[in-house]
Homo-oligomer: A and B are copies of this chain.
Amino acid sequence: MTTPGAGASGEDDLIARYFRPLATDPGAFGLIDDAALLNHTGDDLVVTTDAIVEGVHFLPDDPPDTVARKALRVNLSDLAAKGAVPAGFVLTLALREAKEQWLTPFARALGEDAAVFGCPVLGGDTVSTPGPLMISITAFGRVPPGKMVRRSGAKPGDRIAVTGTIGDAALGLRILKGQIEGLDTSSREFLIQRYRVPQPRNALAVAIREHASAAMDVSDGLAGDLAKLCTASGISASIDLMAVPHSEQARVLVTKGSSSIEAIVSGGDDYEVVCTIPENRWDSFLVAARQVNVQVTGIGKVETGAAAPRFLDAAGKSVTLKRLSYSHF
């Protein structure tokens, strides 16, 4: 981002008007420099980058405030899974036009989330595009040296836990697409909100760092993401499908036959954390999670071998999932 002044342009004005008020961190230099600064604190820096595209990750008529929150929170969710404490972010905003009625609520919500999650805007770039709106965010988190939680540390015997509830967001998207009808208004709103505004589990980051052997963000479907964690750790897993936590609203839809537990574990956009916890840390992990008010649920165990994770039904029978996760290509 660049500064307005003698050489002010439309882009500079846009930045000055909407984003400078958010750039309160000293490392952002009020967005009047070529770069931002993350100063040396003795910690390692965890870096994650995730973009959201109109029509792909959010819908053209999603409210601008929810688009802002989603853009930042999908990145915060990665930091949480790595056990990192947010340190700031930079964004690239590709816009067709600079519309005040869109930018004002977008910037306001971004600033609110930056404050709530302690993750200040440090800089960015605005570009014009004739195509769909796109927001690409790179977020930074701090961990003590060597303490980032990897995908690769799971060991046979570890318990597998997920945060929150799984499947709500994918159902919310189906509602917005008109594929699910007959729900009461409050259930509709709940599931749509779960799609539009993820609830990243940053409050749990320190507990994950202290207790988890491996962790990752669940964004493309629990089944597919867990398979990736297994591959990275060189292990397998068994999951009790009946134990996978889902909301009351999702349960109603499964009971009515509008969804299924298989669809729930392979839907995307959850932005929860799946992690593996050594048996002897399990109780302490539960206590730590309770202290920060984040729901965690044991859903299975890490097993030896390189086979794909098994998903077991109520009778303990392995269920074959047709689709593990969402893919862009």
Taking Cβ atoms with an 8 Å cutoff, the residues of A that contact B are: 2-7, 9-14, 29, 32-40, 42-53, 55-57, 78-79, 81-82, 84, 90-92, 94-95, 97-98, 122-132, 134, 136, 138, 140-141, 145, 148, 150-152, 216-217, 220-221, 223-228, 230-232, 308-309, 324-329
Flag if A49 contacts B92 (CB, 8 Å): yes
Q: Given the complex, which residues of B lie within 8 Å of A127, measured CB to CB?
A: 51-53, 56-57, 134, 328
Flag if A34 contacts B151 (CB, 8 Å): yes
Q: Given the complex, which residues of B lie within 8 Å of A92, measured CB to CB?
A: 49-51, 92, 136
> Which of B40, B91, B138 contacts A145 (CB under 8 A)?
B40
> Which of B42, B50, B220 contacts A9 (CB under 8 A)?
B220
Residue on B with the closest CB to A55?
Answer: B130
User: Whole-angstrom distance from the CB of A14 to the nearest CB of chain B?
Assistant: 6
Give CA–CA (A57, B78) in the complex, Å.
Answer: 30
User: Whole-angstrom distance from the CB of A15 to the nearest CB of chain B?
Assistant: 10
Per DSSP, are chain A's interface residues mostly helix, strand or loop, or mixed?
A: mixed
Extra inter-chain contacts (18) besides given A33-B152, A53-B129, A129-B134, CB under 8 Å: A4-B231, A5-B232, A7-B220, A7-B221, A7-B224, A7-B226, A7-B228, A11-B328, A33-B150, A35-B82, A35-B148, A37-B45, A40-B43, A49-B138, A50-B92, A56-B127, A125-B136, A130-B131
User: Whole-angstrom distance from the CB of A56 to the nearest CB of chain B?
Assistant: 6
Q: Given the complex, which residues of B lie within 8 Å of A223, measured CB to CB?
A: 7
User: Whole-angstrom distance from the CB of A53 to the nearest CB of chain B?
Assistant: 5
Q: Given the complex, which residues of B lie within 8 Å of A98, measured CB to CB?
A: 329
Residue on B with the closest CB to A13?
Answer: B329
Residue on B with the closest CB to A134?
Answer: B94
Q: Given the complex, which residues of B lie within 8 Å of A29, measured CB to CB?
A: 150, 152
Give CA–CA (A55, B53) in the complex, Å.
Answer: 18
Flag if B35 contacts A327 (CB, 8 Å): no
Flag if A48 contacts B151 (CB, 8 Å): no
User: Whole-angstrom distance from the CB of A255 to the nearest CB of chain B?
Assistant: 28
Flag if A94 contacts B53 (CB, 8 Å): yes
